């Protein structure tokens, strides 16, 4: 029985740290699990999750978990090289790979047939890269210490959950305050 | 490197910028070398849009970020500048070399060079065009405004500064 994306997100949400979450269903699922002041929900700018997460990880000490998708990391593959060049041990990039653009109608991405994100991440120069297919494997990989890239293979299921009902500026201010408090 | 490059970086540092993402440009060569000599955290990104994302993260973590790019990179960044930086009201200063203006020798730079001021207006990004060294104080003014208003402000650096 294949993993669902929401199970991956739930496992990450249990941990202490900051979460940068990709737009669309991932942010909606994260919000539905548990809204926290340490969650940054993306509402636009597809492809930017790993870059935002790198910026946050470089500029403060708390652990950063980036919930990224296969379609969106394929839009910004250069980010994997920048992460290899600069990332600090507090960076954890989790690419939830379902082989489709889940939020736009399940059109296939190129990981469905040809592209291997684990090999691409390694080829970009990242040392700790894991591909996981179960929650047990995910938990084990998350214990390895960062900078860490995990490609989590999941099925195409999205939970029917509503939009994130928060304003962008509210998300920002709350998240910035949380970072400030955690790093005091 | 030239005095002008030193002076530009001095203005960046004095105005409170403490984080830089860059993509190279021939005109920015000296500035990027000067940045490496300072304590500024400098992340070299592959594409300007990526820099918009990294700067957004730095801002969320309390930094005052600047993006140092060529104007061609404005075109690569528009969606992130609007749906991330503007939409969440994040502070960002952009220092942009202006290729494709009247001094340009490479014809391919001209279409984007001509469009750049119009694009900035259309995107509602306040900017100043700096053509002479005595206008460099505008960097300080616009950096201050970017972080006070939590918005994007830009300075276009003309090739005439290096002639």
Rounded to whole angstroms, how far apart are CA atoms A68 and A20? 8
| Cβ(A174)–Cβ(A38) below 8 Å | no
Q: Which residue stretches of chain B have pLDDT < 70?
A: 1
- Number of separate domains in chain B: 1
Averaged pLDDT, A60-68: 98
> Range of A109's domain?
5-182
Q: CA B6 → CA B37, B98, B134, distances in Å?
A: 10, 18, 14
> What pLDDT is attached to residue A2?
84
B46 touches chain A (CB under 8 A): yes
> Cβ of B127 under 8 Å from any chain A Cβ?
no
Write down the pLDDT at residue B1. Answer: 60
Record the pTM: 0.98
Average predicted confidence (pLDDT) for chain A: 97
Q: What percent of chain A has pLDDT over 70?
A: 99
- B86 interfacial to chain A (CB closer than 8 Å): no
- For A34-108, strand residue ranges (E) read 39-41, 64-69, 91-97, 100-101, 107-108
Summarised one tens digit per residue, pLDDT across range A94-119 is 999 999 999 899 999 999 999 999 99
Q: Which residues of A touch B43 (CB under 8 A)?
A: 54-55, 58, 82, 86
CATH number at residue A161: 3.40.50.970
Q: Is residue A1's pLDDT more than 70?
A: no
Interface touch A180/B53, C-beta < 8 Å: no
CATH number, domain containing residue B152: 3.40.50.970
Spell out which residues of chain A touch residue B49, defining contact as CB-CB under 8 Å: 47-48, 76
Q: Which domain holds residue B31?
A: 3-162
* A51-64 mean pLDDT: 98
Task: Provide ipTM, 2 decimals.
Answer: 0.98
What is the rounded CA–CA span in Å between residue A172 and residue A178?
A: 10
Number of independent structural domains in chain A: 1
Q: What pLDDT score was predicted for residue B102?
A: 86
| Strand ranges (E), B2-135 | 19-22, 41-44, 65-70, 92-98, 126-130
């Amino acid at each position: 029985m294949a993993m669902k994306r929401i199970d991956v997100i739930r496992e990450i949400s249990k941990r202490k740290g900051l979460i940068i979450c990709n737009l669309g269903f991932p942010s909606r699922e994260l919000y539905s699990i548990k809204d926290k002041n340490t969650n940054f929900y993306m509402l636009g700018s597809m492809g930017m999750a790993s870059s935002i997460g790198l910026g946050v990880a470089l500029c403060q000490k708390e652990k950063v978990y980036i919930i990224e998708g296969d379609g969106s990391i394929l839009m910004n593959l250069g980010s994997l090289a920048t992460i290899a060049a600069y990332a600090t041990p507090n960076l954890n990039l989790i690419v939830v790979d379902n082989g489709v653009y889940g939020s736009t109608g399940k059109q296939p991405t190129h990981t469905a047939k040809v592209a291997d994100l684990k090999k691409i991440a390694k080829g970009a120069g990242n040392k700790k890269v894991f591909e996981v297919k179960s929650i047990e494997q995910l938990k084990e990989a998350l214990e390895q210490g960062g900078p860490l890239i995990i490609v989590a293979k999941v099925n195409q299921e999205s939970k029917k959950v509503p939009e994130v009902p928060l304003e962008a500026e509210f998300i920002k201010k709350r998240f910035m305050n949380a970072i400030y408090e955690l790093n005091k | 490197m030239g005095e002008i490059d030193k002076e530009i970086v001095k203005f960046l540092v004095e105005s409170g910028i403490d984080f830089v993402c860059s993509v190279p440009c021939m005109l920015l060569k000296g500035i990027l070398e000067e940045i490496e000599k300072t304590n500024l955290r400098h992340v070299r990104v592959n594409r300007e849009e990526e820099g918009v994302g990294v700067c957004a993260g730095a801002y969320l973590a309390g930094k005052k970020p600047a993006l140092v790019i060529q104007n061609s990179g404005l075109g690569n960044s528009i969606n992130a500048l609007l749906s991330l930086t503007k939409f969440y009201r994040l502070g960002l200063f952009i220092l942009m070399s202006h290729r494709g203006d009247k001094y340009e020798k490479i014809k391919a730079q001209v279409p984007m060079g001509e469009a750049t001021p119009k694009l900035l207006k259309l995107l509602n990004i306040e900017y100043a065009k700096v053509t002479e060294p005595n206008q460099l104080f505008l960097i300080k003014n616009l950096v201050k405004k970017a972080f006070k208003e939590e918005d994007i402000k830009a300075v276009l650096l003309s090739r005439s500064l290096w002639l």
